Amino acid sequence: HDKKAKKRKHEYEEDEEDEDIKPKKKTKDKKVTEGKKAKKEEEEKWKWWEEERYTDGSKWRFLEHKGPVFAPPYEPLPDKVKFYYDGKPLKLSAPAEEVATFFAKMLDHEYTTKDIFRKNFFKDWRKEMTSEEKSKITDLNKCNFSDMNEYFKAQSEARKQMSKEEKQKIKEENERLLQEYGFCIMDNHKERIGNFRIEPPGLFRGRGDHPKMGMLKRRIRPEDIIINCSKDSKHPKPPPGTKWKEVRYDNKVTWLASWTENIQGSIKYIMLNPSSRIKGEKDWQKYETARRLKKCVDRIRNQYRDDWKSKEMRIRQRAVALYFIDKLALRAGNEKEEGETADTVGCCSLRVEHIKLYPKMDDQEYVVEFDFLGKDSIRYYNKIPVEKRVFKNLQLFLENKQPEDDLFDRLNTSILNKHLQELMDGLTAKVFRTYNASITLQQQLKELTCSDDSIPAKILSYNRANRAVAILCNHQRAPPKTFEKSMQNLQTKIDEKQNQLSAARKQLKAAKADHKASHDDKSKKAVEVKRKAVQRIEEQLMKLQVQATDREENKQIALGTSKLNYLDPRISVAWYVSLLPPCGKSMRSCPADWKTRSQRWGRVVHPP
DNA sequence: AGACTGACTTGGGTCCATTCCA
DNA sequence: TGGAATGGACCCAAGTCAGTCT
């Protein structure tokens, strides 16, 4: 997962490839002459997966780090940059000015036009004002931030225009910071930290219809930070004149530092990068659990199908919910505190208003229509035919309920997970998502690819398999702002290529005719040259067409999350290996079903 | 049983450096 | 060589789920 590490590793593996070819002695020499480098490589190729894991619940024995990097202090605006209230310039105190700049920077954003955002911002802003400011500034509509806004725009423009040297200097400074604070020592190994920079203050931007949007996310100070490290390590030093909130030595957790965030009151952590042993082991374990589910999923499916007939309502609800989680890869759906977050749901928290039942729809029977906002306020919309028993159960669950009532009133995620735990050790609702995602990739890869496809065709096949997973998991994205334009550009290229092709074909034809007439060697060679040219252009055209297809199909599908979190990497590796020998099948086309499911759903309330 | 909290995974967006291509 | 496309790093919000407390 650590892209840079991957790059480094790749370089190393190339070395290794070399070593396979070269005689062994040479590799030994190399190791002797490049002792330092070899030692570094030794560290980089540490195979933690070949080592024993802790069995006592501890996560490490030794942990040493330098603590977090704090956000740079606020730099007051130059005097020439004015804030106007009611048309008159007004010099703000530094704390009030800082908060004002957060708003000023967002002026072009749709957020700042939203009532809740403005209300929350203004309330929190006033808290930062002096009593004098507070008495003067009473109406946000009379505030004019546009001068400030232009100043920041000019600043970012200036940053873009910086000379190469200046840019290089900044880059070096970042690198220095990374080297100093970006790594820790955990159990004899240097590991990359994921987020060693503390989140800077700013205005909270929730996703979807968030009741807290616009609130002030306050600046985090050393006094807010809890440090976690080992007793026998060199402890991180707080900045001069400050103190940590606490230093603790808890090796039952993986985080290096934490603080409590002021919007939701939740805890934020500094943890290691995905390339670390501690994240890698967990990730591996996740896929192993999914593999264990594969072995007993038939039994579990039979069980919940049986449970559809149960005398007990709670068991029927549990069984129908589990069916949805399995078949549709829905999330568990924990309860949420009302008014604290956007109104989104998962399976267990579905409400009556989120589904519609159709005994008959077109040529299908027992169709359920889902329409709700899931995680990140991404809309889930789907129509699926279900088995009659499920349908009848749903009708039963809906009886005498209001739209805002819970569909599964006798069920929550805790009950469901306790049940799942009894069915298989370590089984929870989300394991079904992992399992179904990975098995879908495996099946689709098998169905879509074959080894004598061209490289672009293979990539398309892989992306389509990946896409099938993303669609299953409802991983949507807003179409990129430049989508239409880039699509057009591609189409133009295709048109040009097609013209080129027909021209090249004409030339080939002419050359052939020429050869027929003269029968000399020179004209024969000319035919060959033209034939090659046609072939090359055909390949280029095909590549462009595949690219266009891929891009079009991916318009509002986000592949990243599934690639990163749901697809067992071993499946991709196995697929790659399987393509090495030829197999003789031809490429299949995209199943029509996928296209219909990737229609424009979009995020309903979508922060640009 | 239910509320609450802490720790950890999953999520899409944005920005910026690199790559690609005419 | 410059502008567009691309892809990855980074950002930080929003989920899941287990354990504890009441």
**pTM for this prediction:** 0.86
- Structural domain contains residue A530: yes
Higher-confidence position of A238 and A29 = A238
**What are the C-alpha distances in Å from A532 to residues A319, A437, A501, A525, A575?**
62, 43, 12, 11, 32
- Structural domain contains residue A542: yes
In the listed set A206, A238, A273, which residue is the last one of a domain according to the structure?
A273
Q: What are phi and psi of A195, to 5 degrees?
A: -130, 80
Residues A462, A444 contacting (CB under 8 angstroms): no
Which residues, other chains included, contact A352 with Cβ-Cβ below 8 Å and sequence gap of 6+? A398, A401, A402, A403, A404, A405, A406, A407
Q: How far is the CA of A554 from the C1' of B21 (A)?
A: 23
Q: In this structure, what token pair is assigned to residue A546?
A: 């595949």
Question: Hey, which residues of A are catalytic here?
Answer: 566
For residue A527, pLDDT over 90 is answered with: no
What is the total count of domains within chain A? 4
Higher-confidence position of A459 and A191 = A191
Q: Residues 297-356 of chain A: which lie with beta carbon within 7 Å of strand C?
A: 331-334, 336, 341-342, 344, 346
Q: Are residues A90 and A52 in the same domain?
A: no
Quote the mean pLDDT of chain A: 85
Q: Are residues A267 and A289 in the same domain?
A: no
A314: domain CATH number is 3.90.15.10
- Structural domain contains residue A595: yes
For A567-576, what is the mean pLDDT? 90
Residue-wise pLDDT for A533-549, tens only, equals 888 888 888 888 888 88
Q: What distance in Å separates the CA atoms of residue A307 and residue A216, rounded to the nearest whole number?
A: 49
Q: In this structure, what token pair is assigned to residue A435?
A: 């399992």
Q: Residues 401-440 of chain A: which lie with beta carbon within 7 Å of strand B?
A: 430, 433-434
Cβ of A19 near strand C (distance < 7 A): no
For residue A8, pLDDT over 70 is answered with: no
Higher-confidence position of A587 and A570 = A570
Q: Are residues A290 and A263 in the same domain?
A: no
Closest CA to A133 of A146, A143, A141, A121: A143
Cβ of A147 near strand B (distance < 7 A): no
Q: Residues 148-177 of chain A: which lie with beta carbon within 7 Å of strand B?
A: 156, 159, 167, 171
In the listed set A427, A447, A477, which residue is the last one of a domain according to the structure?
A427
Quote helix, strand, coil % in chain A, to nearest 5: 55, 10, 35
Closest CA to A331 of A17, A596, A15, A561: A561
- Structural domain contains residue A513: yes
Q: Find where tokens 């109406």 sit.
A: A139
Residue-wise pLDDT for A116-142, tens only, equals 999 999 999 999 999 999 999 999 999
Q: A325: how many CB neighbours lie within 10 A of its CB?
A: 25
Q: Are residues A268 and A395 in the same domain?
A: no
Q: Which nucleotides of chain C does any protein CB come within 7 A of? A: 4-6, 8-19
SS3 assignment, position A280: helix
Q: Are residues A350 and A466 in the same domain?
A: no
Q: Which nucleotide is nearest to A228 (CA to C1')?
A: B7
Q: Are residues A88 and A65 in the same domain?
A: no
Q: What are phi and psi of A422, to 5 degrees?
A: -70, -30
Q: Are residues A284 and A207 in the same domain?
A: no
The residue type found at A66 is: K
Model confidence band, residue A175 (pLDDT cutoffs 50, 70, 90):
confident
Listing DSSP states for A10-53 in one string gives HHHHHHHHHHHHS-HHHHHHHHHHTHHHHHHHHHHT--GGGSPP
For residue A194, pLDDT over 60 is answered with: yes
Highest-confidence segment of A336-340, A343-347, A556-560:
A343-347
Residue-wise pLDDT for A409-453, tens only, equals 999 999 999 999 999 999 999 999 999 999 999 999 999 887 778
In the listed set A405, A427, A449, which residue is the last one of a domain according to the structure?
A427
The helix/strand count (H/E) of chain A reads as 19, 15
Bridge-based pairing state of the strands A226-228 and A246-248: parallel
- Structural domain contains residue A9: no
Model confidence band, residue A10 (pLDDT cutoffs 50, 70, 90):
very low
Residue-wise pLDDT for A467-502, tens only, equals 999 999 999 888 877 788 888 888 888 888 888 888
Residue-wise pLDDT for A310-334, tens only, equals 999 999 999 999 999 999 999 999 9
For residue A553, pLDDT over 90 is answered with: no
Cα dihedral sign, A365-A371-A374-A378? positive
Residues A412-419: contacts with CB under 8 Å, at least 24 apart = A412/A334, A412/A335, A412/A348, A413/A332, A413/A333, A413/A334, A413/A335, A413/A346, A413/A348, A415/A314, A415/A318, A416/A318, A416/A321, A416/A322, A416/A332, A416/A348, A417/A332, A419/A318
Q: How far is the CA of A199 from the C1' of B9 (A)?
A: 19
**Domain encompassing residue A146:** 83-164
Residue-wise pLDDT for A18-35, tens only, equals 333 233 333 333 333 334
